[in-house]
Amino acid sequence: MISKILIIMANGVLCYSKTFVGSDDMDYDLVSGFLTAISSIAKEIGGGEIRALNFRNFNFVYTYDEEKLCMFIIVTDIDDPEEEAQEKLELMKNQFIKQFYDDLKNWKCETGKFEVFDEFAEKYIFIPPKILLVGELGVGKTTIINLFEGETVLELDEDLNEIIQKTIPLTDFTRINEVVLRELDLEDLIKNSKIYRPLLDSVDIICIVTNSGASNLGRTQRLFFQLVNKVKKADFYIIANFQDLQNTSYEPEKVKEMFGIPTYGFCGIKKGAKERIFEIINEMLRISIIEKIESKQV
């Protein structure tokens, strides 16, 4: 996930920054000086333009415009695909130069005029968290998706299998105002993991939906352990659906013991189901996005 973007003038002065997730406590002057110095050293030794710097907790992915007016930087999580950040980086660079070229050529250290770039950055540069809902047929994945208003996007993979997606607005976080939910069959995801590799590498959370019955849990558990080995960075959670079937459904605590990952009880047809799924989504995002990024910045 992209947590910050920085734009630094050729003289090393920060002219624009935007934090999407995490703390604003970064020493931008120190970062600007460091990146400018590293870039100069690379040129001196004939190494060419540096495209990225990899640290233990995050990556700096950056580039320059053709006239070297600015250095454009995107800060991402260490496990995020660099290709995705590079695409956003080019988009940011092209728009910023187009929008502020005259100001940059005649810049007098006035950073306030660049604040209007926030609107573009929030709309086109920030990548919302992605949650993948997976499970067997009939466990309630589509029911969960349909709890939310808005347009449902249907994609087809190479074998014409459906990938259903919907963007969900959020209100409980300061900067994250939406999340992308995608629905996919669990067995198909495992069988075609090579086809779905870009999705598996970019998704932040994989939420396994079960019907909480013994037979489904057994099959899902076997598939889950196969899937874990194919995933690099995503956190796993379980939604134990059909909790209204008290005589046949396992309680969330028992499901958690079986899988060893956080589990949430749920009933898609119960009053308040939408509010409950919002609570679950918010808690997953808080644990896997907010707290994880903040812990790396300490």
Query: Which domains does the chain carry?
Result: 2-125 (3.30.450.70), 130-297 (3.40.50.300)
Q: Is 119 helix (H, G, I), strand (E, B) or coil?
A: helix
**Residues 181 and 168: beta-carbon distance below 8 Å:** yes
Side-chain half-sphere of 65: how many Cα atoms within 13 Å?
Answer: 20
Place of tokens 């949650």: 131
Q: pLDDT per residue over 239-274, tens digit each?
A: 999 988 877 888 999 999 999 999 999 998 888 999
pLDDT computed for residue 210 by the predictor: 93
Q: Is the pLDDT of residue 155 over 90?
A: no
Alpha-carbon gap, residue 125 to 61, rounded angstroms:
13
Decide which of 77 and 49 is more confident: 77
In 3D space, the residue among 140, 131, 132, 135 whose CA is nearest the CA of residue 219 turns out to be 135
Q: Is 61 exposed, middle or buried (0-12, 13-18, 19+ CB in 10 A)?
A: buried
Q: Is the pLDDT of residue 279 over 70?
A: yes
To the nearest 10°, the Cα dihedral for 157, 259, 170, 19? -90
Query: What is the DSSP code (8-state) at residue 249?
Result: B
Alpha-carbon gap, residue 195 to 79, rounded angstroms:
19
Q: Is the pLDDT of residue 149 over 80?
A: yes
**Residues 52 and 59: beta-carbon distance below 8 Å:** yes
Alpha-carbon gap, residue 49 to 295, rounded angstroms:
31
Give 187's pLDDT tier (boundaries 50, 70, 90). Answer: very high
Q: Is the pLDDT of residue 199 over 60?
A: yes
Residue 117 neighbours by CB distance under 10 Å:
20
Q: pLDDT per residue over 124-137, tens digit each?
A: 888 889 999 999 99
Alpha-carbon gap, residue 59 to 83, rounded angstroms:
12
pLDDT computed for residue 298 by the predictor: 43
**Residues 1 and 21: beta-carbon distance below 8 Å:** yes
Q: Is the pLDDT of residue 62 over 90?
A: no
Q: Is the pLDDT of residue 220 over 90?
A: yes
To the nearest 10°, the Cα dihedral for 158, 206, 82, 191? -30
Q: Is 10 helix (H, G, I), strand (E, B) or coil?
A: coil
Task: Give the relative orientation of helices 252-259 and 214-228 as an angle to the nearest 10 degrees.
Answer: 40
What pTM does this model have?
Answer: 0.77
To the nearest 10°, the Cα dihedral for 221, 225, 231, 237? 30
Q: Which amino acid is at 99?
A: Q
Give 94's pLDDT tier (boundaries 50, 70, 90). Answer: very high
Q: Is the pLDDT of residue 236 over 90?
A: yes
**Residues 204 and 241: beta-carbon distance below 8 Å:** no
Tokens of 263: 């589990």
Place of tokens 């995608």: 182
**Residues 69 and 16: beta-carbon distance below 8 Å:** no
Residues in the chain: 298
Contacts for 62 with CB less than 8 Å, ≥ 6 apart: 35, 50, 51, 52, 53, 71, 72, 73, 74, 89
